[in-house]
Structures are given as structure tokens and as C-alpha cells.
């Protein structure tokens, strides 16, 4: 492993939280490196954060904005900068909802200015761009392995969208101009010097003042937290050992719910969490979970050192000893702060809808009496006479998400399960708390970005697809509940008895004959075992399609983006038609195995021809053979026809696959005069 040795480093945003710890560490540990820090001293920056470095001979502070091309070019040349560590950014998600253009200006335009200066001067040997785990978007609640560096970027809020946009610029400059770029994506960081708009310092300062701790929503959002010095060490390792062109996740597998963090802080302050925690309105979109795979960074020699209890205790001690570090932070301690971000100054505004008096013990500001404000239930407007209540697993998955929307549309009370499928005690807790009439299991591992992932993650695949599913079925049986289990029909392959084009489909009682992928093996295995449970309704889904053509999991979306496709007929599932049927099946208490596909088959080419006809007449595609496909995939893919006559008999109105495609997918998305 080669080691990089910088000479003159420019650190942007170094008077901010994370960057100050990195700057102070490098100044202290490497006296031969010259550290130049650039910061415009925005509201969340503080020169006091750099006090440990101020008297060092190898340290220089420059007040300025990364958006100033003249300043940046001047610094790179006059200071002979060979390395940039780019931390400067607007980072608070709440602010991005109210002041998103400032995020675009700082995070995207500012980064672009830096990159262009690097291109023009031609002297940069390392450009380390600091991004965030939020660019991956929400992680599935049931995911057992986190997002890795090659995972798709799916940001969900203006902040993460601007960070993803900045990453694209960094990558483009690396590819187009050969700029030696490295990108990092990190979990939440906590510790001394953090501006108290962020969760942990906000809770600490409120607890110090004897005020309520406001929690967005129900407090069950999950986050991973790293202590600031561990993160500073990670950047030290990446600076010296990171490979140009690579992305590195800086993360931890230890996760905590927001409410757990609040309770831990209350415990260390010896205050009653039940009286101190208050639930407030959730922010516009609050991702449930971010989860990273940090093995790549561990391979460079880094590992998390500070355990949560020690890090939190040190952080509390620092804020206790430095209560006025940030001056008047009243506005930052509000449940939903909105900052007007201006260089060199700060104005803190309170949304008109918010009434939070720091002089009282409740958010209404009307009384000193502690009051518990609970989050509004999703089903608060549902008539109580409904005979059904559904418990759904797989909240962040495609099918699980759509099921929730269908329940809302039909007025069916529902809640998403919080427990992991492999944790029996959490499943029992969900059922005992929610008291459902039916349980839907839409959780499972299919792989990121596809089933090839399962080939190299077999224990993780077994844990969820087999052990977890059986665990849930067994708990439901114990509680006398029907479980609707979304399975797969990718456990069969055309054979002599079911030849392609014959119209002879595999029936529910047929034995799986496809063993080409580990994913399919686990699904076939668990299906066979579930036959022993009389409380399970197994729905075999195949190549799911919906009217949402922007969804990357949609089969049409996938094949329309492929360079080449195989042209072979298959049974498929139109979710817009069939998911409402799954709810009806629960109401009818149907059990056993069902081929959950539309009758008939459709080929890849037929779908793409429909796509051309209804969506984009300029669209083109190319074919390749199964043999050619096998050269570019790890695991084989299943191709088959399923016999849907059992489902059709139960639901006579069920459309054939081609009719359903036109009615539910292509007609609603029609953009041509087809």
C-alpha cells in the first residue's frame, strides 16, 4: 500500500465542527506539513475551535469564501497548495428545507469553484471531498449490510441532494481532467465544538438548562454516531493511504434510535426521561435509517476506538465546561430551527407555526407544567369501526411502502414493524403493542444493486430471507395471526415439461427447479419450510412492474436503462393491480401458495416496444443471448411462465399481463399519440 505525503494542505471550513478536529490533529501531529485553513466564519463556525493550532508555526488562518474564485486561485498559488481537504458546506437538514438556495450556492457552486481552481493551477496532488451518508438516501430497515461505496445515490432532501450534486462534479473533474480526487461519506459525528443545532449538543444544552428535549416524530429514526476524534483519525488515514479515484465510507455498525440518544443523555444528567422528552412534529422528510458498510476504510487500517458511553460522557463534560462557547444559541435550540445563513453573521428566526419559549417547560410557552406532546398517528383519521389492522414489515422497501399507501387509501389502520425479522423478542413486542389482525412480510434481501450481491453475502441473505421469515411466521402462528408473505417466482426455469412458448406454466404445487442464484435458493428453501405453517399465505411475485417509471426497482425502468437485454417471455407482476388484491386476500384469510402474477407472459422486447409506442418513440435497444448475458452477471437469472389460473379463479377480474401493462402502466404514463 503506497503512502502519500503532502506538503501544503488547504482545509476548507476548518472553523467548523469536523474540520477543526482534523486541522488541529494534523497541525499537532505533522509539524512538517503547512496547514492553511479557509473559512468565511458562518453562523456554525467559530475561531475558538482552532485555538489549539493558533500558536503553531505550521498553521495559517484565512477568512474567506470558497465561492470566490480569485481568492481560491490566489491561495493555491501563493501557498503552493498540493492538497485540499474540502469540508466547507451547509449541513443542517432543517435549514435546507427553508433556505435551499444557500445550500446550492455553498455546496455545489463552492465545490465547483475549488475544482476549477485545481484544474487551472494544475498543482494539486490530492483533492479530498467530504460528503455524507445521506447521499445514499434511506436504508431499508431490514438491511443487514450497509450501503457500500458503489451503492446508488438516492438523496431525499435538499441538503443531501446538493452534496450528491457536488460529488458528481468531483467525479467528473477526476475523469475529465485527471484531478486526483477522493470522496468520503460519513455517518453522524458528535463531540466537543459542535454547533447546537445538531441533535446531541442541542439535547445536552437543553438538559443543562432543565428544558424539554424535542424529538421529531416518534423518535424511532435510527442513526449511527462516531466520536469526532475517531473521525479525525479516519481523515488522517485517508489522506495518507487513500487511493485516488476511490470513495470511502466513514461509519460504524452501531446504531441508535433518536429516542435512545435522548434517554442516554437524560440518564447521564440524572433526569427523568419520561418528563423531559417531548415529541414534536416531524420534519418534511425524515429518513428512517442510514447504514454504511465501512470495510473498505477498515482495510486501510482504521477502526472506531471510542465507545458510545465514553464519547457521550466526554461530550457532556465539554459542554458543561464551555456553556457559552457559541454565545446566544436560543434559536438553535428550537424544535425546528431556521437560520438565515449570511457570511460573517447570523440571524435566528422562529417559524410562525412554532411556539417554543425557552423560559418554560413546554413548547406552547403557556405553562411551566411539563406536558407530553405525542406525534400524530398515521391512522388518526381512520374510523375506529374498521375490523382490520395491519402490521407491515418492510417499510423502506418498494412493496412495503406501497402497501402503506394502499391502506391509507382504503382507510385500513396499519403500522410498520420496528423489529428486525431475526429478533424474536422485538417481533413479539411489535405484535403485543400494535395488536394487528394480519401481518404482511414485505421485508427481504434481494441485493444491492441486484441478486449478484447475494452470491458474496450468503450468511446475510440467509439471516433475513430464511431465518428471519421463518421467525416471523412462527411468532405469528404463536399469536394466531395470518402472515401474508411476499415471495418470488424466480425459483423455476423453463424445462422439458414447461417449454418456452408452450403456455404451460408452473403451478403452485410444482417443485422449484431453478438453482442458478443463491437468492433463489434461499427463497425456494424458505417456501418449502413455510408449507409446515398453516397460518401463511405465500405470494410468488415475479419481475415486479408499477406505473412509477422513475423507480429504479421497476422492471421496466431497469431494462430501459440496460445497454442490451435478452428477449425471452416471462410471467410478471403488475403491482398496481395485484397489491390491492393482496389486501383482499388478507381480508378473505386466504392461505397456502399462490402464483402472484398476471396471466400469460410478455417478452423484454414486447415491453420495450410498448415503451417506444407510449413513452419515447426515439428509444432504441439491443439484444444479446443468454450466453452473452452470462458473461456480464455473476448469478444466473430465472426465466419461466407461472400458471396464474388459481389466482384468476379467485379474482376473475384479473387482467392478462399485456392488458394490465397497458391499463396500469403505459396508458397513465402516455406521452405520445400512440
* Tens of pLDDT, residues 248-265: 999 988 888 999 999 999
Query: Is CATH 3.90.1300.10 correct for 390-669?
Result: no
Catalytic residue, candidates 94, 133, 233, 422: 133
Average pLDDT over residues 25-31: 97
Average pLDDT over residues 461-487: 94
What's this model's pTM, rounded to 2 decimal places? 0.54
Catalytic residue, candidates 39, 102, 134, 167: 134
Q: What is the DSSP letter of 126?
A: E
Answer CATH for 8-333 from 2.60.120.680, 3.30.2020.10, 3.40.50.720, 1.10.630.10? 3.40.50.720
The pLDDT of residue 341 is 35
For residues 567 and 303, give the distance between their C-alpha atoms in angstroms, rounded to a whole number: 47
The pLDDT of residue 570 is 95
- 449 pLDDT band (50/70/90 cuts)? low
Q: Let me know if 133 is a catalytic residue.
A: yes
pLDDT digits (tens, 9 = 90+) for 403-420: 999 999 999 999 999 998
Domains 8-333 and 390-669 share a fold: yes
In this structure, are residues 322 and 208 in contact, taking their beta carbons and an 8 Å threshold? no
Q: Let me know if 309 is a catalytic residue.
A: no
Which residues make Cβ contacts (< 8 Å) with residue 185, sequence separation at least 6?
Answer: 131, 132, 133, 135, 136, 149, 247, 248, 249, 250, 292
- 91 pLDDT band (50/70/90 cuts)? low
The pLDDT of residue 356 is 28
Decide if pLDDT at 370 tops 50.
no
The pLDDT of residue 367 is 30
In this structure, are residues 408 and 378 in contact, taking their beta carbons and an 8 Å threshold? yes
Packing angle of the helix pair 158-177, 110-121 (nearest 10 deg): 10
- 131 pLDDT band (50/70/90 cuts)? very high
Decide if pLDDT at 620 tops 60.
yes
The pLDDT of residue 287 is 60
For residues 346 and 44, give the distance between their C-alpha atoms in angstroms, rounded to a whole number: 9
In this structure, are residues 560 and 611 in contact, taking their beta carbons and an 8 Å threshold? yes
Lowest mean pLDDT across 5-14, 89-98, 137-146: 89-98
In this structure, are residues 577 and 598 in contact, taking their beta carbons and an 8 Å threshold? yes
Q: Let me know if 293 is a catalytic residue.
A: no
Decide if pLDDT at 562 tops 50.
yes
User: What kind and span of H or E run contains 205?
Assistant: helix 199-208
The pLDDT of residue 425 is 93
Share of the chain above pLDDT 90, in %: 64
In this structure, are residues 397 and 447 in contact, taking their beta carbons and an 8 Å threshold? no
Residue with cell string 471550513: 13
Average pLDDT over residues 91-119: 77
pLDDT digits (tens, 9 = 90+) for 584-600: 999 999 999 999 999 99
Query: Rounded mean pLDDT of the chain?
Result: 86
CA distances from 56 to 59, 93, 236, 239, 365 (A): 6, 35, 19, 21, 48
Q: Structural domain boundaries of the chain?
A: 8-333, 390-669
- Considering only CA atoms, which of 60, 29, 63, 30 is closest in space to residue 46? 63
Q: Which cell goes with 180?
A: 486526483
Q: What backbone torsions phi and psi does residue 121 show, to the nearest 5 degrees?
A: -75, -30
pLDDT digits (tens, 9 = 90+) for 479-533: 999 999 999 999 999 999 999 999 999 999 999 999 888 999 999 999 999 999 9
Packing angle of the helix pair 228-241, 17-29 (nearest 10 deg): 60
Decide if pLDDT at 363 tops 80.
no
Q: Which cell goes with 661?
A: 401493462
Q: Which cell goes with 436?
A: 394487528
Catalytic residue, candidates 43, 136, 159, 319: 159
Residue 245 burial class via C-beta count within 10 angstroms: exposed 0-12, middle 13-18, buried 19 and up: middle
Decide if pLDDT at 539 tops 90.
yes
For residues 219 and 38, give the distance between their C-alpha atoms in angstroms, rounded to a whole number: 37
Amino acid at each position: 500500500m503506497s503512502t502519500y505525503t503532502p506538503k501544503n494542505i488547504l482545509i476548507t471550513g476548518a472553523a467548523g465542527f469536523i474540520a477543526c478536529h482534523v486541522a488541529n490533529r494534523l497541525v499537532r501531529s505533522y509539524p512538517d506539513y503547512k496547514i492553511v485553513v479557509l473559512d468565511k466564519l458562518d453562523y456554525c463556525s467559530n475561531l475558538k475551535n482552532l485555538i489549539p493550532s493558533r500558536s503553531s508555526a505550521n498553521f495559517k488562518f484565512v477568512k474567506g469564501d470558497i465561492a470566490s474564485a480569485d481568492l481560491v486561485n490566489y491561495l493555491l498559488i501563493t501557498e503552493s497548495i498540493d492538497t485540499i481537504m474540502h469540508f466547507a458546506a451547509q449541513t443542517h437538514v432543517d435549514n435546507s428545507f427553508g433556505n435551499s438556495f444557500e445550500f446550492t450556492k455553498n455546496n455545489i457552486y463552492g465545490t465547483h469553484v475549488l475544482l476549477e481552481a485545481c484544474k487551472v493551477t494544475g498543482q494539486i496532488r490530492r483533492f479530498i471531498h467530504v460528503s455524507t451518508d445521506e447521499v445514499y438516501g434511506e436504508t431499508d430497515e431490514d438491511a443487514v449490510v450497509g450501503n457500500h461505496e458503489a451503492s446508488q445515490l438516492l438523496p431525499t432532501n435538499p441538503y443531501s441532494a446538493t452534496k450528491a450534486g457536488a460529488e458528481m462534479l468531483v467525479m467528473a473533474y477526476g475523469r475529465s481532467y485527471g484531478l486526483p480526487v477522493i470522496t468520503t461519506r460519513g455517518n453522524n459525528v458528535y463531540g466537543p465544538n459542535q454547533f447546537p443545532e445538531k441533535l446531541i449538543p442541542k439535547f445536552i444544552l437543553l438538559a443543562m438548562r432543565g428544558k424539554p428535549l424535542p424529538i421529531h416524530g416518534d423518535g424511532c429514526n435510527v442513526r449511527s454516531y462516531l466520536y469526532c476524534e475517531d473521525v479525525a483519525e479516519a481523515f488522517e488515514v485517508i489522506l495518507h493511504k487513500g487511493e485516488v479515484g476511490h470513495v470511502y465510507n466513514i461509519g460504524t455498525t452501531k446504531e441508535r434510535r433518536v429516542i435512545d440518544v435522548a434517554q442516554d443523555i437524560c440518564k447521564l444528567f440524572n433526569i427523568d426521561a419520561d418528563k423531559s422528552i417531548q415529541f414534536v412534529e416531524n420534519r418534511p422528510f425524515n429518513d428512517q435509517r442510514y447504514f454504511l458498510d465501512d470495510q473498505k476504510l477498515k482495510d486501510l487500517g482504521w477502526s472506531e476506538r471510542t465507545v458510545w458511553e465514553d464519547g457521550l460522557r466526554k461530550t457532556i463534560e465539554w459542554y458543561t465546561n464551555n456553556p457559552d462557547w457559541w454565545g446566544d444559541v436560543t434559536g438553535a435550540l428550537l424544535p425546528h430551527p431556521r437560520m438565515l445563513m449570511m457570511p460573517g453573521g447570523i440571524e435566528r428566526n422562529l417559524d410562525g407555526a412554532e411556539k417554543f419559549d425557552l423560559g418554560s417547560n413546554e413548547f406552547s410557552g403557556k405553562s411551566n407544567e411539563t406536558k407530553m406532546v405525542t406525534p400524530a398517528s398515521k391512522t388518526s383519521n381512520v374510523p375506529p369501526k374498521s375490523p382490520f389492522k395491519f402490521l407491515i414489515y418492510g417499510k423502506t422497501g418498494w412493496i412495503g411502502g406501497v402497501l402503506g399507501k394502499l391502506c391509507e387509501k382504503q382507510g385500513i389502520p396499519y403500522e410498520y414493524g420496528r423489529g428486525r425479522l431475526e429478533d424474536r423478542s422485538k417481533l413479539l413486542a411489535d405484535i403485543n403493542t400494535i395488536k394487528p389482525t394480519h401481518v404482511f412480510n414485505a421485508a427481504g434481501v434481494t441485493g444491492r444493486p441486484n441478486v449478484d450481491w447475494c452470491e458474496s453475502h450468503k450468511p446475510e441473505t440467509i439471516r433475513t430471507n430464511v431465518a428471519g421469515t421463518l421467525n416471523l411466521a412462527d411468532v405469528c402462528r404463536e399469536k394466531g395471526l395470518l402472515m401474508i408473505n411476499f415471495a418470488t417466482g424466480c425459483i423455476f426455469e423453463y424445462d422439458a415439461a414447461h417449454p418456452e412458448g408452450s403456455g404451460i406454466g408452473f403451478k403452485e404445487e410444482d417443485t422449484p427447479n431453478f438453482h442458478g442464484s443463491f437468492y433463489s435458493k434461499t427463497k425456494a428453501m424458505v417456501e418449502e419450510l413455510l408449507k409446515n405453517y398453516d397460518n401463511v399465505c405465500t405470494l410468488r411475485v415475479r419481475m415486479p412492474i408499477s406505473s412509477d417509471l422513475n423507480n429504479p426497482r421497476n422492471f421496466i425502468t431497469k431494462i430501459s436503462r440496460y445497454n442490451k437485454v435478452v428477449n425471452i417471455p416471462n410471467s410478471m407482476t403488475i403491482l398496481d393491480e395485484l397489491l390491492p388484491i393482496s389486501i383482499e386476500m388478507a381480508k378473505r384469510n386466504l392461505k397456502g401458495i399462490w402464483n402472484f402474477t398476471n396471466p400469460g407472459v410478455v417478452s423484454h422486447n414486447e415491453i420495450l416496444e410498448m415503451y417506444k409506442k407510449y413513452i419515447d418513440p426515439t428509444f432504441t435497444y439491443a439484444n444479446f443471448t443468454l450466453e452473452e448475458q452470462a458473461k456480464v452477471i455473476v448469478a444466473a437469472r430465472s426465466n419461466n411462465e407461472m400458471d396464474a389460473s388459481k389466482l384468476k379463479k379467485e379474482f376473475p377480474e384479473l387482467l392478462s399481463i399485456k392488458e394490465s401493462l397497458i391499463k396500469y402502466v403505459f396508458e397513465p404514463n402516455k406521452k405520445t399519440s400512440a
